[in-house]
Structure 1
Amino acid sequence: MEGETFSGLGNGAQVDTKILQSFHKNFVQVQSILDKNRLLINEINQNHDSKVPDNLSRNVGLIRELNNNIRRVVDLYGDLSTSFSKSMEASSDGDSSLRSDAKLGMKRFRS
């Protein structure tokens, strides 16, 4: 399987299986974070509905965790987008020498 290419993109472009594995890994990470966020949102809603002061105080930390998770998802999608663009450029240039150990994408910095 290593070194094989996949040409199911419709435009004849070929994608290295290492790239597909990397995409899959990132999508699995994103789904895991989104599942966790669903649980966090449910807990935040329950705490809010309870009106118990301790539960409302706990929501501050839960909301921070939720915001951090959202940032991670944005970063992962940014990495996926950059990686996909690079793979398409390499495909169109006929360059199949993409390194699987290269860092995927560039991080966005917020000001």
Structure 2
Amino acid sequence: MASEAVITLTEANFESEISSSTVPVIVDFWAEWCGPCRMLGPILDDLATSQEGKVKIGKVNVDEAPGLATQFSVRSIPMLVFFKDGKAVDTVVGVQSKDALTKRLAALG
């Protein structure tokens, strides 16, 4: 489902992937059974490819990592959390266009 440019995040690798990143990170909290999540997947794949080296995109399956879903108060999916310098700085819920995501990234600097 995800392209090679998108990282699968788990409770085991989440902290190291986020804290070690030198670029902003978008984390997609999603689930297999979620229709809107499946709609967002190709948009994130495209963004990961077109913005390679400028952003890291990771996906957290909420069914496989319930601890992370709880930690970030995920109540609706898809939910995107934007990280900069290892800290969550923005959150958006629902399907977003590539354009909207690109603008949010630009705002992070």
Both structures adopt the same fold (TM-score exceeding 0.5): no
**Which protein has greater RCO, CA pairs closer than 8 Å, 6+ apart?**
2
TM-score (norm 1): 0.28
Structure with bigger gyration radius: 1
What is the TM-score with the length of structure 2 in the denominator? Answer: 0.28
